[in-house]
Amino acid sequence: MSQAHYTYLYILLIFLPKGLSQLVKTQRVVTVTLGETAHFSCMLLQPKDVLQVTWQKETSGGIENVATYNKRFGPVVNLPFQGKVAFQDEGLKNCSVIIRRVTREDESCYRCLFNAYPDGAISGRTCLQVIELYGPKVTQSNDTHNSSEFTLSCSATGRPAPIVVWDIRNHLALDYSPMVNITHPNGTVTVTISSTVAVPSLPDHSTVFGCVVSSGSVNQAVYMEIPGQHKVVDSGWIHGKGQHKVVDSVWIYGKGISDFAGMTLVGVIITVCGIVCWFKQRHPKSRENKIEHNTMRLKSEGFSPH
């Protein structure tokens, strides 16, 4: 690449003329959960003499250069973004980057500029939306004055405000209470729904129900089992013991599944290790007993072991 081309490229980066966004294929919005990895890609749809691809971040103070790629210097990530941003596909026609461990501060719009000669900057624009979702959490409370009913509550906190709903199975009758929303100073919102369950309305068999929460494109849920009506009454499930029974029968899907599976795997590993240790402790004793038995047998037959 000639020096004249680099001089022209420098001028392009200073003035940044409005590009032809219709020539660039990219995502309009990228949605990721807090802490995950965001992927941005741009593809130039027409052949152009591209000198460099530049990635930029829109900030309240203006435009900040994030990274560049050209044939002479290869991929270059600017110092403030090193360790955070990395190239995934390097090319002057098809270029993509990732943002690791996404935080709120990364939430912005990003531009990819195909700096071409003599067209100028041909740009694409993608906006990053960061979603936070914590929960759901289900709790049970009992009315000390009325043993024929108990209350189930489900809450989740997120940004944007999560949608919280019950997933009812087996025609479980719930008496719904008004939804409660609490907005926190950090911008997250806690949403809580509560419902009263009348014990006489429970079926004879156990009932599975769940709480499903969603924020943007992220969905999580927790499911649990309520014993049948007679078991609830006979075992005193709603008088303190029920809280433990609910917790013991919870299973989760969505983001929490990895944590739940991890806990299960740890339990299996501990069990296996315990069995192995038990056999190791047993084996030496069995071997010693066998040697002692053989020694005594040889002595009785008139042999002396050496």
Taking only the tens place, the pLDDT of each residue in 199-238 is: 777 777 777 888 999 988 889 999 888 777 666 555 554 5
Positive or negative, the CA dihedral 139, 143, 144, 147 is negative
Residue 25 neighbours by CB under 8 Å, 6+ apart: 42, 43, 45, 124
Answer yes or no: is pLDDT of 282 > 60: no
Assigned domain for 180 exists: yes
For residue 103, being part of any structural domain is answered with yes
- Residue 110: give its domain's CATH number: 2.60.40.10
Residues 286, 205 share a domain: no
User: 157 and 88 share a domain?
Assistant: no
Residue 184 reports pLDDT greater than 80: yes
pTM for the whole structure: 0.64
CB neighbour list of residue 44: distance below 8 Å, 6 or more residues apart:
23, 24, 50, 92, 93, 94, 114, 122
213 is in which domain, residue-wise?
143-255
The tally of domains found in the chain comes to: 3
Residue 138 lies in a domain: no
Q: Does a structural domain hold residue 137?
A: no
User: With pLDDT > 70 as the criterion, what percentage of the chain qualifies?
Assistant: 65
Residues 126 and 27 in one domain: yes
122-146: pLDDT as tens digits: 999 999 999 999 999 998 887 666 6
Same domain, residue pair 41 and 150: no
305 is a domain residue:
yes
Contact between residue 162 and residue 214 where contact means Cβ atoms under 8 Å apart = yes
Q: Is residue 43 part of a domain?
A: yes
Q: Do residues 89 and 191 share a domain?
A: no
Element (H, E) at 243: helix 242-248
89 & 179 share domain? no
Task: Check residue 110 and give its pLDDT.
Answer: 98
